[in-house]
Every structure is written in structure tokens, then in C-alpha cells.
Chain A
Amino acid sequence: MAAGTGSGRTVSATFRPIRGWLLLPSWAIIGFFMVIPVLLMLVYSFLTKEFRGGVIWEPTLAAYDQFLFDRGLFGDEPPTIEWAYITIFIRSILQATGATLLCLLIGFPTAFFIATRPAHTRAIWLFLITIPYWVNLLIRTVSVRFLIRDNGPLNDFLLALGLVDQPLGLINTNFAVQLGLFYSYLPFMVLPIYAAVERYNFAFSEAASDLYAPKWTILRRIVIPVVKPGIIAGCILVFVPSLGAFLAPDLLGGAKTYMIGSLIEEQFKGNAGNWPFGAAASMILLSMVLVVLLFYARGQSREGA
């Protein structure tokens, strides 16, 4: 054994000689079934679509052109900006942002509250938050659909109480999609923030309060900056899956107004059958997510520095 006999502080290397073999399966499997497919998808986005599904192996920019430029119904007018797909992307970003903010609004106080419980009850609170996260996403989305439909329990309840005199008409609206995303990913927000607040040293807060800092100022100026990495991690965990969501717009939005996920799905499984365009839209979505993650990574390394 060469190095690696140092204290726990240095990088331990007891398995260094076979490191390559240990890592090989991950490299091979993820490389072959994830990296190559994504690269292939990039290639597909530059291919010519075949009428009624499939591709012709001839390079073209048609998919990206279709995404960005409107050449009229018959394709022969001078190009103007195509708003149809940009609208779908903006809608997805707004929905995802809205869901993230709502989750933060409820998730932060929850995480803070749980993290400040005595150690023995903390685990139970945490357990309660985790359970819904383990329940199948499809079932959770379906249960929201059932709950808020016009003849569903929520409206029945409100009508019985006389709070409303006709159903709220929530189902099949953008609001319902928003609600569904918020509900689906709420635990994702609570858990990382909880982890950060739990590590937070409340001596800082106490010191500030000894100096007569108002309570909410302490929260804003001291606690939140310190637990920021947890908040950002939570936001990313909600934002990224919301952006590519498919079930919520389909089951709660009535599949009427598309989000990115539904647009892509339609190209492969629905009426459109335009593979290169679906690949291009996927690439654009992937790039957006990577940009978000890069910003996050840069922020992380700056925190660390």
C-alpha cells in the first residue's frame, strides 16, 4: 500500500489500485446509456424529419428554425419571430418559478420550525414531511385532480358550507397546474433547507439579539444568508423537475395549454410525429437546466472560496 495511511483529514486511498475497476461499471453504463443517447439526440435535432414520423439522415437546421421563426401557415412568408413555442417555454418557466416561490413560502418556515424542535421530536416531524415524497407522483397528481374537480370533494365542501354558490372551476386551468407542481415538489424544498438550518449555529442569532437587533431582521440578515445554500438547493430541486413536468399539465391542465414536457411528448407519441423538432426542444430544455446548474455550481464554489 502506498499512500493513504494518513489521518482522516487526508484523502483515504485504501482502494486506489483497483479504483479504475470500481468506477468502470458506472462510466460504462451511464456513458453508454445516458451520454451517448443525449449526444445522439443532439444529432437528431439537426436531421431532416420524415413525413409521418422518423428521420432522414440529412443535416438541416429546420427544427431550430421551426422553433424560432414563423414563416406563415404556408412557409413562404418572410420570417418573423415564432411566438408559439417561446410562449410554451415562457409559460413553463413562469409555472416553475411560481411553484418554486410557493414552495419556498411554505417550505422555509416549515423547515425552520422543524429544525428548531427538540432532537427527539424533530425526527417525527421530518418523517411526516418525507412520507408524501415517497408516494407515487402519479397517485399524488391524480388525487389533486380528484380533489379539485368541479364535482369533487373540495367544491362539495365549499358549496355545503355556503362559501361559494357554484363550483370554483379550478380543474383544467393554469392555476390547477401550478397547484399540482407546488404540491408535487413541496417536500423537495423542505428537506435541504431543513438540513441547512439544522447546522446553523443559533449563537449568531443570540448574539444579534443581545445587540437589540429586531427578530425579523435577524432572520433576514443573519439566518437566511447563512442557510442560503440550502435554500438554493431546494429551489433547484423544485424548479428543474417543474420545468419539464408532464403529468401535472396533462392531468390537471387538461392537456390543453402545453408545457415543455407535453410539447416534447407530442412529437414522439402524439399527433405531430416530428422527431427532430422534439429532439431540438429537448436540447433547448436541457441547455436551460444546465445553465441553472452552472450558476448554482459557480455560486457554490464562490461560497467555498
Chain B
Amino acid sequence: MKRLTTTTAILALAAGAAAAEGELRVYHWFEYMPQELVDKFEAETGIDVIIDTYDSNEALLASLKAGTLGSYDVAVPGDYMVAIMAGEGLLDTFEEGELTNKANIEDQWLNAPFDAGRVHSIPYQWGSTSVSVNRDIYTGDTNSLSLIFDPPEELKGRINVLDSQGEVMALASIYLGIPQCSQDRDQLRALDELLQTASAHWASFGSDIAKDVLVSGDAAAGMIYNGFSAKAREEGANVEYIYPDEGYVVWMDNVVLLEQAPNRENAIRFMDFLLQPENIAQVTNYAQYAAGITGAAEFTEEALATSPENNPREGAGPGVFIEVCDQATQEVYDQIWTRLRS
């Protein structure tokens, strides 16, 4: 009797895991897609959407390589990670004409360097990564990345940094004025030294916590994405998103078609759905970044167009994409990164 119940339970579980008809498995960032939009897609297509979340591009890659490839249909990696994933053979390619709404992609994003001709991915949102400070605590007028890399007294020990190697290394390189993925040994040593010194003033590492630590007051400043900072401001934190003198990181997250997707057709339907301006605009309104789809602006809230987080101030440095480093440099980066935490 006991054995019978057990067997039934196991079979039921196995069946639940195997049922793949009419499903779509999305591997996504946290807090990045409004539930209403998911509901709308489900209502339009009858497809059941299952969402799992990750908190950094690197965590997404690690998970797929550790054996979850084949259980998701789509994921939403950032620009440089699209290139890495394509190189690792983790991405499937669209057939010619498979995406009905592909023409809606804005020209400037159609031939993105990380996916020329858009054969694996479509734009999701784009935005920037920089620094936000709590204006109740820091009243100075510095507009430099020194706010986190050489912080003023009142911010020391109260800084949160994204738990994302790519973004930290890129911003540190921008601050030092050295090229990303530099192979110059003196420059790499300087990078190491800068981060070692700076990290003594950091309180925590975390991407998913980046908004909450500002809202709850656990941190007084933090590396953060522009839309996430806008949400922190809306939730009552007196934070200002800084566009630094030295420059900042620009990124674009993209919906990619994963290799071995169990529901490839549904994935394509989902992408076509997101390529419709009124749909992707809902994401923009929710996450407060920008879409790369023609006509989406019509459906986005007007406040977004003028929000301080979405408009670099006069005199700010340039926004740059994160570059993919070669193996030798990446290994140096890995070493620097580990030493930060020891």
C-alpha cells in the first residue's frame, strides 16, 4: 500500500515534469516582466508560461552549462552574454521569415554587434548601469564614479555593488580610463589595486537586492541599473541616479531562442508577441528602461521620456557596451574578483 502510493507519487511528479504541450519556459531576470503581460500572452495563445529567474548574466550561463539547457525555451541575456552564449553553442537560429514581426526591430538594434542580423535574439529592453546615491545622506555634487571607487566619508561602508563581474570590471575600467579587457599588465595591476582598495568601503554585493538596499536604507549608495533606480525613487527613497563624468555602461537585454528548446514554436510566438510595440511598451512602463522596437514610444508613459534616469545629463561621459574578453584576460579578471571577497 505504502509502496503503491509512493510509486504513484513519483509517477505523478515525473509526468508533471515531462508535460510539455502548450507550455513556454522562460528563464528571466528578476522583477522584469509585468504579470499582466504574461496573462495577456496566456490569454491570447492558451500557452502556459513558466518563469524562472536568475540574477546575473554569469549565473544564467552557469545554470545552462550545469544542465538546465534543454529545459528552457527562451532566456534574456545581456548584449555581451548573447555573444558568449552564441559562441558556446547555447543558442538556436531563427529560420528565414520565421519571425513575423522582425521588421519592427529598430534599425540601430537590427545589426547589433553581439548578434549581427538578429539571427538568435530580439531586443527586450535597453538601459544603463551606473551609480545611485541617497541624497539624504550624500549632499555633495560629485558626478564621478569615485562615489563608489573612492567614496566620500559619508558613503564609506554603506555601498552595495552589483554581484556581476562584467559590470564591475567595466565600470572600474571606465573610472581608470583604461580600455575594457585591457591586456596591459600595468593597467590590470592598477585595476586590481583600485578594486582591492575600493572594496574595503563596500558593504554588500548583490544585484537582486540593489533596489531594496536603497529603499530600506541598508545602503546609502549603490551600483544599479537606471530603471531599477527609478523604481527605488518611486518607492520613496530619495535617490539620484548619476550619469558620471567618466562614462557608464550601456546594455541591451535580448530574448534569445535557446538550443534544444522543448517548445520552440511557442518561443517564436512569444517573441513575435514581444515584437509588437504595445506589448513591449508594457515592459518598458513596468521596468522603466527603453524598448528597441519601432512604435513602442507611442504606448509608453510620458513621464519615462523625461525621467532623470532615462536622460543622461549634459556633460556626462559616453555610455559603452561591455566587451567580451579573451580567455587570458578573463582569467585575470576571475582572480581579481575572487580576491575581492576573501
Find out whether A and B make contact in their complex, taking CB atoms under 8 A apart as touching: yes
Q: Do residues B342 and A51 form an inter-chain contact, with CB atoms below 8 A? A: no
If A74-B332, A255-B204, A271-B337 touch, whether A52 touches B61 (CB-CB below 8 Å) is: yes
> B318: CB under 8 A from chain A?
no
If A53-B65, A171-B218 touch, whether A274 touches B157 (CB-CB below 8 Å) is: no
B58's contact among A54, A255, A257, A273, by CB below 8 Å, is which?
A: A273
B334's contact among A74, A169, A258, A274, by CB below 8 Å, is which?
A: A274
Q: Do residues B66 and A172 form an inter-chain contact, with CB atoms below 8 A? A: no
Chain B contacts for A149, CB-based, 8 A = 216-218
If A270-B59, A271-B163, A273-B58 touch, whether A172 touches B204 (CB-CB below 8 Å) is: yes
The contact string, 1 if C-beta is below 8 Å from chain A, for chain B 162-184, is 01110000000000000000000
Q: Do residues A271 and B205 form an inter-chain contact, with CB atoms below 8 A? A: no
> B206: CB under 8 A from chain A?
yes
Q: Which residue of B lies closest to A267 (CB)?
A: B62
Q: How many residues in A have their beta carbons less than 8 Å from beta carbons of B?
A: 33
CA distance A262 to B341 in the complex (A): 10
Chain A contacts for B330, CB-based, 8 A = 51
B331's contact among A75, A88, A258, by CB below 8 Å, is which?
A: A75
> A198: CB under 8 A from chain B?
no
Chain A contacts for B337, CB-based, 8 A = 271-272
Q: Do residues B206 and A88 form an inter-chain contact, with CB atoms below 8 A? A: no
If A75-B331, A272-B337, A273-B65 touch, whether A84 touches B189 (CB-CB below 8 Å) is: no
Interface size class of B (residues with CB under 8 A): 35 or more
Which residues 39-67 of B sit at the A interface, judged by CB distance below 8 A? Answer: 56, 58-59, 61-63, 65-66
Q: Do residues A52 and B65 form an inter-chain contact, with CB atoms below 8 A? A: yes
Chain B contacts for A266, CB-based, 8 A = 338, 341
CA distance A136 to B84 in the complex (A): 38
> A64: CB under 8 A from chain B?
no
Chain A contacts for B56, CB-based, 8 A = 270-271
Chain B contacts for A273, CB-based, 8 A = 58, 61-62, 65
> B188: CB under 8 A from chain A?
yes
Q: Do residues B218 and A270 form an inter-chain contact, with CB atoms below 8 A? A: no
> B335: CB under 8 A from chain A?
yes
Min CB gap A52→B, angstroms: 6
Show 11 residue pairs from A and B whose CB-CB distance is below 8 angstroms, ordered by the A residue.
A52-B61, A53-B62, A53-B65, A149-B216, A151-B216, A172-B204, A266-B341, A269-B62, A271-B163, A273-B61, A273-B65
Q: Which residues of A line the B interface, CB within 8 A?
A: 51-54, 73-75, 83-85, 87-88, 149-151, 169, 171-172, 254-258, 262-263, 266, 268-274
